[in-house]
Structure 1
Amino acid sequence: MEKAAIKLGELNSFSKLVPTIDLFIQLHVTKEAVVSSRIEGTQTQMDEALMDEDEIAPERKDDWIEVNNYIKSLNTAIERLEKLPISSRLLRETHQILLDSVRGEHRLPGEFRSSQNWIDGNSLSDAIFIPPHQDYVGELMSDLENFIHNEDIDVPELVKIAIAHYQFETIHPFLDGNGRIGRLLITLFLVDKKILTKPLLYLSAYFEKNKGLYYDNLTFVRTKNDMKQWLKYFLVGIAETAEKASQTLSNVLELKERLENKINNDFGRKSQNAIILLQYLLKKPIINVNQAKDVTGLTYNTANSLISDFIDADFLKEVTGYSRNRVFIFDEYLKLFYK
């Protein structure tokens, strides 16, 4: 627990020193959305998630919408935290955004379940785990909410959110989207308790790395009363993930400085517009010529020439293989989020 707390403190301190932290958060949130949705079976990759909807192949559009709903739900939940505490109301609002216009839209978006659900298996008779009956969900979620905000119990905050995540997944209050909301709950808690000033920590990649271990540790609490093993697993995840986020943030800053120096040294009269384009790419590392034209205020031909300069400098690479309607990716930057 001490190591986890130290690593979180380092990440939080680091984030306060970075002037472009919101750019980093946007990409971090996109990665979280992709990984968290992948756990649920969605196939969208990070570069696809950053494209505009009209650039997505029709057969991939449903997955793209699911990932972008997650991004929207996460960002909205963080904003709502300023006026609304972590609560059933906040989680239901977030859930409604998550399932808007996707495959789970008929599974009571924004509402706790009114029927029995189960985890794995074809029916209740062969399910691996059966959550509590639907009649108890409201009462159990109220109890969980009270636990999260109870200041009279002497439980460290990181232990409290570990228990709260376990309890949420055990209640399984929604018909769909419980995993994604349960993982989001961790980030919301860390921000709400001022452990992190910015939403920089997401455990989905850690949980996905060995999904069997994640599910086993949850199950052993239920079947063997082994909360200790779950807490150790969770805290190791906090420490590892915080350290990795700090390293990614450091790598982003190094890349930004190196490319800015290269632009200032090599781009001559184009330097000012090149810096503007680079700043845009740090926010949205997928671009076409029309977007480059709009962001820089250049003519189409001049923007196209600047894109060509970025390709020659290995800043961008073309990903469609087309001669028209080309799309370019800031590949070196995106790869930092895959490490």
Structure 2
Amino acid sequence: MAEQDGMSSRAQLARGSGEYKSAVPTKIAALDFSVLNSAAADIEDAVTALIRFDEHARGRLGFSSPTLGPMSSILLRTESTSSSQIENLTVGARQLALAELNQSSSANAISVSANVLAMEAALELSDRVDRAAILTMHERLLTGQPGWEHHAGTFRHQLVWVGSSGLSPRGASFVAPQHDLIDELIADLVQFMGRDDLPVLVQIAIAHAQFETIHPFVDGNGRTGRALVHALLRGKGIVRSTTAPVSAGLLKNTESYFASLTAYQNGDALPIVEQFGNAARFAASSGTQLIDRLGAELDHSSEMLKGLRPQAMAWKLLPHLISHPVMNNELVASLLTTSQTSALRALQQLSSVGVVSERSGLKRNRIWQHDGILSVLDDYAGSLLRK
């Protein structure tokens, strides 16, 4: 019997009552996936492309470069934005940066900022992708999402479904497994992710699809599942230095991505493997271009600073503009481990030569931004939706 929500008529309740079928996923810990060998060559090419992308980031910036860390941070934010956009949570680069300064009132920006925290947790925990790591990723995600905090880091204890009405699972396009199956299914998934007899990207694609089929949380399954992808890419040694924009590749064709998840739930794993192969190649190509464009902005800014003495605080702040294209005095003081006075001097030095501009127009709580970096990030995000 459908539950009364206080807003539905008796007729709606009657239509929502009756039998339904919820998913009972096949356990995959020891499953033979040799049927996917037909995709092996394409998957190998995709992995090679990701490795070259990672090498390009190191080569373009250098292991000892102070820019490598900030570049990795902004690519992680870009990936978080794309992953969120798959869930129709859209935000511009400036609003996301403002949210990280607690200066944005945009609900989407706050939610995407929380997704950044989930992605960061995924990379931090990549050496042990287990039940606790999955719960931590989800906790970081929903703790920062207003209204959902009490679900953060907790497997669901209720039925969830996709499509149809919120009143009943009848007619839904997908009804997740009953909640009492979640613990054993997650244990099986963790065991599967520990295997070393599968091509890595095949393993990652299947792990992601299995996670989405389990749908272990009330909300945030898609974003947590895509954070899991990056934990595995880092843990398996494919992308070690930065974050490849794989979700951007999935965002290019969400219809095919969702269709491949449905195919997996119906017993066909090949489409999701192919989707991840395509997304990985796109991530490597577009990510390389993004690194080069951001690097060019930084090079141009360096040229503009040439008149400053080498000891000027602005030089120390310059690399951080990649990961923080919007800054305030407090952030700069924290980044440079310096006083508020020295932080303000660094911002004024950058502003005096046109590297950053003050856009708040306020005497207090002022905000400075690098227009070129913000433009590159917004152009990249916009290109993902252009057919």
Q: What is the TM-score with the length of structure 2 in the denominator?
A: 0.75
Contact 1:289 / 1:303 at 8 angstroms: preserved in 2?
Answer: no
What SS does the aligned partner of 1:336 have? Answer: helix
Contact 1:285 / 1:334 at 8 angstroms: preserved in 2?
Answer: yes
Residue of structure 2 equivalent to 1:168 = 211
CA distance in 2, matches of 1:257, 1:168: 42
Deviation for aligned residue 1:270: 8.5
1:185 matched to 2:228? The reply is yes
Residue of structure 2 equivalent to 1:97 = 140
The AA in structure 2 aligned to 1:77 is A
Greater helix share, structure number: 1
Structure 2 residue aligned with 1:211, among 254, 267, 273?
254
Residue of structure 1 equivalent to 2:375 = 335
Deviation for aligned residue 1:72: 2.0
Higher relative contact order (CA 8 A, sep 6+): 2
Residue of structure 2 equivalent to 1:28 = 75
CA distance in 1, matches of 2:330, 2:122: 32
Moved more, 228-237 or 168-177: 228-237
Residue of structure 1 equivalent to 2:37 = none
1:234 matched to 2:282? The reply is no
Deviation for aligned residue 1:204: 1.9
Q: Which runs of 5+ in 1 are unaligned?
A: none
Q: CA 1:186–1:322 in 2, change beyond 3 Å: closer, same or farther?
A: same
Q: CA 1:121–1:106 in 2, change beyond 3 Å: closer, same or farther?
A: farther
Q: CA 1:199–1:113 in 2, change beyond 3 Å: closer, same or farther?
A: farther
What SS does the aligned partner of 1:194 have? Answer: coil
1:127 matched to 2:175? The reply is no
RMSD between aligned residues: 2.7
CA distance in 1, matches of 2:184, 2:343: 60
1:39 matched to 2:86? The reply is yes
Residue of structure 2 equivalent to 1:200 = 243
Moved more, 244-253 or 2-11: 244-253
Q: Which runs of 5+ in 2 are unaligned?
A: 1-42, 381-387
Residue of structure 1 equivalent to 2:104 = 56
1:9 matched to 2:56? The reply is no
Contact 2:304 / 2:353 at 8 angstroms: preserved in 1?
Answer: no
CA distance in 2, matches of 1:12, 1:302: 35
What SS does the aligned partner of 1:121 have? Answer: coil
CA distance in 2, matches of 1:44, 1:329: 17
Residue of structure 1 equivalent to 2:3 = none
- Number of corresponding residues: 326
Q: What is the TM-score with the length of structure 1 in the denominator?
A: 0.85
Q: For residues 129-168 of structure 1, what are the alpha-carbon distances to aligned partners after superposition, in whole Å with 9 as ceiling and x for unaligned?
A: 11211121111111111111123x4x21111111111111
Residue of structure 2 equivalent to 1:66 = 111
Structure 2 residue aligned with 1:283, among 323, 328, 347?
323
Moved more, 48-57 or 233-242: 48-57
Deviation for aligned residue 1:169: 0.7
Structure 2 residue aligned with 1:245, among 251, 273, 287?
287
CA distance in 2, matches of 1:6, 1:337: 25
Contact 1:50 / 1:284 at 8 angstroms: preserved in 2?
Answer: yes
Contact 1:107 / 1:175 at 8 angstroms: preserved in 2?
Answer: no
Contact 1:104 / 1:176 at 8 angstroms: preserved in 2?
Answer: no
Between the two proteins, what is the percent identity of the paired residues?
26
Q: CA 1:14–1:116 in 2, change beyond 3 Å: closer, same or farther?
A: same
Contact 1:218 / 1:230 at 8 angstroms: preserved in 2?
Answer: yes
Q: CA 1:120–1:240 in 2, change beyond 3 Å: closer, same or farther?
A: same
Contact 1:293 / 1:303 at 8 angstroms: preserved in 2?
Answer: no
